[in-house]
Amino acid sequence: MNITKMLEKINQLKIGSRLHLIVQSLNGYQINHSEIDNKANNILDHFYESDHKFIKDEPIEKNDWVVLITISKITHTENMSFEDVALSGLDHKYSLEESLLLDDTMVSLFKIE
């Protein structure tokens, strides 16, 4: 699978407006886009240049979809990627729809149920 096929999959799923794009390090901390390399930036550009509108600065809720881009870098910042998600724990399921590995970057698409 490649990014184009993942974007097509998002279209097929008719996800709607509840779609988040999160960039994190291997250890689960959010990464500022200015801190990532060109390869990862190219991956991000594909998503941002698509027709999808990603939610920014809103909490992730039940039935939301998440595109999680994991960079092969260990960092420590103030925020963990899912620190403010009220849905963490054993009561909720994270349904992985697709994933792909591009060089040293993993891209996953999942739904929080």
Look at the chain and report how many structural domains it folds into.
1
pTM for the whole structure: 0.85
Between 84 and 65, residue with greater pLDDT: 65
Which domain range does residue 90 map to? 3-112
pLDDT digits (tens, 9 = 90+) for 15-46: 877 899 999 999 888 888 788 888 888 888 99
The three-point CA angle 30-70-97 to 5° equals 115
* CB-based burial label for 5 (10 Å; 0-12, 13-18, 19+): exposed
- For residue 33, count other CB atoms closer than 10 A to its CB: 10
Burial 86-97 (b: 16+ CB within 10 A, else e): ebeeeeeeeeee
